[in-house]
């Protein structure tokens, strides 16, 4: 078994460059790290290019044997512990990472109709969400309610930022990410498919509990500025989350969770 020890190795250089968004975009790849995420990637049949294992980690058997059997079916590269430390992005690494092909679709206007799944009850669209922690939590929440896609504006944070990937807890492999150049145009196309646009706004008396979550596209706005004014103007419904305290607004990922679980509540009530 060959163990790579040189930082000048071409694959090692490639992995380091994948920490940069532009390079990830060019190569359509990203890095995942840790036993749990790699196990999720294998189980979800993600397109894994290579798995990189710290030689010492493999020797000490910190990776479960059952998982090692599955990992052995992939293309594996072993590196020294010193070299792995230069590659890792986490404080307490588990000695394993992988290069994975992205699950993002960058749509052109003429392609959007065929790429968006209109069979879903609701669609979530993100309007320039900036915080990686918020974005990762939203992706995880979308997955938790059984949705298979999310629409993100071009100005939204990179879904393949390492912090985003970690905070999705594996949802990144199950949710198709549709990145659009012009969110307003994309929402107009969705409206043509008999979906109503729902935005959150403080300038309304309507509650999120007044909406029937069927054939709705829920737009979540930027943390500082909310939903863009042009999109607010075209919204079919403006709603707010009722709050009994003095706080006027909630964290974007918290607000998303509250709205999506009202959808879950309504769906479960229908099935009773």
Domains of the chain: 3-101 (3.30.1330.30), 104-271 (3.40.1280.10)
Q: What is the pLDDT of residue 110?
A: 56
Predicted TM-score (pTM) of this structure: 0.90
User: pLDDT tens across 150-177, in order?
Assistant: 999 999 999 999 999 999 999 999 999 9
Q: Is 227 exposed, middle or buried (0-12, 13-18, 19+ CB in 10 A)?
A: buried
Q: What pLDDT is recorded for position 247?
A: 85
Distances (CA, A) of 235 to 108, 207, 232: 22, 15, 5
Question: In the structure, what pLDDT confidence band is assigned to residue 58 with cuts at 50, 70 and 90?
Answer: low
Higher pLDDT, 9 or 65: 9
Beta pairing partners, 226: 222
| Element spanning 251, H or E | none
For residue 14, the model assigns a pLDDT of 97
With pLDDT > 70 as the criterion, what percentage of the chain qualifies? 94
| Alpha helix segments (H runs only) across the chain | 10-17, 21-27, 35-43, 55-59, 65-71, 81-87, 112-115, 132-144, 162-168, 183-192, 229-234, 252-271
Range in 45-54, 73-82, 99-108 the model is least confident about = 99-108
53 vs 81: CA distance, rounded Å: 9
pLDDT for residue 106 is more than 80: no
Across 20-46, average pLDDT = 95
């Amino acid at each position: 078994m060959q163990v790579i020890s040189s930082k000048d190795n071409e694959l090692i250089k490639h992995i380091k460059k994948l920490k940069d968004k532009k390079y990830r975009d060019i190569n359509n790849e990203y890095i995942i790290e840790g036993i749990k995420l790699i196990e999720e990637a294998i189980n979800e049949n993600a397109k894994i290019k290579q798995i990189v294992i710290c030689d010492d980690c493999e020797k000490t058997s910190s990776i479960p044997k059952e998982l090692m059997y599955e990992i052995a079916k992939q293309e594996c590269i072993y590196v020294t512990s010193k070299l792995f430390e230069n590659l890792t992005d986490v404080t307490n690494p588990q000695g394993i990472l992988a290069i994975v092909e992205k699950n993002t679709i960058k749509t052109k206007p003429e392609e959007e109709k065929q790429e968006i799944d209109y069979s879903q009850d609701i669609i979530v669209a993100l309007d320039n969400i900036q915080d990686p922690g918020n974005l990762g939590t939203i992706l995880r929440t979308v997955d938790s309610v059984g949705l298979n896609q999310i629409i993100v504006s071009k100005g939204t944070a990179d879904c393949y930022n390492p912090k985003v990937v970690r905070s999705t807890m594996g949802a990144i492999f199950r949710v198709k990410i549709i990145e659009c150049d012009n969110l307003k145009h994309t929402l107009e196309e969705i409206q043509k498919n008999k979906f109503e646009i729902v935005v959150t706004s403080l300038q309304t008396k309507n509650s999120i509990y007044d909406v029937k979550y069927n054939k709705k596209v829920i737009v979540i706005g930027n943390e500082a500025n909310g939903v863009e004014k042009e999109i607010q103007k075209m919204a079919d419904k403006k709603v707010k989350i009722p709050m009994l305290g003095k706080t006027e607004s909630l964290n974007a990922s918290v607000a998303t969770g509250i709205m999506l679980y009202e959808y879950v509540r309504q769906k479960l009530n229908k099935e009773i």
